[in-house]
Structure 1
Amino acid sequence: MIEIGSRARTLPAPPHVVWESLAEPRRPGARPWLRLLADEVEPRVLTAEKPGQAVWSSLWPSRPEDQIHFALTASRDGGTLLRFTLLTPGEAPDQSKTGHLRRRLNQLLFADLRYSYGQ
């Protein structure tokens, strides 16, 4: 697998809450945060080990073999250090596409998901 991108940031919610958001993003009663664009599809949860890991299928039909790996650890402030790593078994996309994929994951996780927790 080739790493296309990786980034880690803290979220204000504890790991078990963030894990639930990733493992069941559309669960009843959850605050909506996974707002997909026209060129994206709902991810499938490929694996999920509470509370520290999850793997999603690709969000992009044009790159169906890509995977998004999540690692969650408790942060000192009671929140979660969330790291995503975007991997592909095939060829890495060109710089423009790579930038788009990274930007979208940053938006979804470190803006939309963060704000769903009230911060």
Structure 2
Amino acid sequence: MIEIGSRARTLPAPLAAVWDSLVEPHRPGSRSWLVLLADEVEPRVLAAEKPGRVVWSSLWPSRPDDEVQFALSPSRDGGTLLRFTLLTPAEAPDESKTGHLRRRLNQLLFADLRFSYGQ
């Protein structure tokens, strides 16, 4: 697998809440955060090991074999350190597409998911 991108940031929610959000993003009673663009599809959970690992299928039909791996760990402030790593078994996309994929994951996780926790 080739790494296309990776980034880690803290989220204000506790580890269990972030894990639940990644495994079941449309859980009843939770705030909506996984809002997809026209060129994206709902990811499937390929693997989930509570509390520290989740793997999603690709969000992009044009890149069906890509995976998004998440590593979760507690942060010092009681929140969660979330790292995503975007991987592909194929060739890495061109620079423009790579930038788009990274930006979308950053937006979904470190803006939309973060704001779903009220912060």
Fold shared, TM-score > 0.5 on shorter chain? yes
- Percent identity of the aligned residues? 82
Shift of 1:49: 0.7
Q: Which position in structure 2 is the counterpart of 1:68?
A: 68
CA RMSD in angstroms, aligned pairs only: 0.4
Is residue 5 of structure 1 aligned with residue 39 of structure 2?
Answer: no
TM-score by length of 2: 0.99
Instruction: Determine the structure 1 residue equivalent to 2:88.
Output: 88
Q: Distance in 1 between matches of 2:27 and 2:76?
A: 28
Q: Are 2:77 and 1:77 equivalent residues in the alignment?
A: yes
What one-letter code is carried by the residue in structure 2 that aligns with 1:45? V
Task: Name 1:28's counterpart in structure 2.
Answer: 28
Q: Distance in 2 between matches of 1:34 and 1:43?
A: 10
- Which residue of 2 is the match for residue 56 of structure 1? 56
What is the alpha-carbon distance in structure 2 between the residues aligned to residue 13 and residue 26 of structure 1? 17
2: distance between equivalents of 1:17 and 1:28?
13
Q: CA deviation at 1:21?
A: 0.1
User: Whole-Å Cα distance in 2 between the matches of residues 65 and 27 of structure 1?
Assistant: 26
Counterpart residue type for residue 28 of structure 2: P
TM-score, normalization by structure 1: 0.99
Give runs of ≥4 in structure 1 deviating > 4 Å.
none
- Aligned residue number for residue 14 of structure 1: 14
Residue 104 of structure 1 aligns with which residue? 104
String of CA shifts for 1:82-102, please: whole Å, max 9, x gaps.
000000000000000000000
> Which one-letter code corresponds to 2:65 in the other structure?
E
Name the SS for the 1:107 alignment partner. helix
For residue 55 of structure 1, report the CA deviation from its aligned partner: 0.2
What SS does the corresponding residue of 1:73 show, helix, strand or coil? strand
User: What letter is aligned with 1:27?
Assistant: R
Equivalences, count: 119
Q: State the partner residue of 2:38.
A: 38
Unaligned runs of 5+ in 2: none
Q: Which residue of structure 2 aligns with residue 115 of structure 1?
A: 115
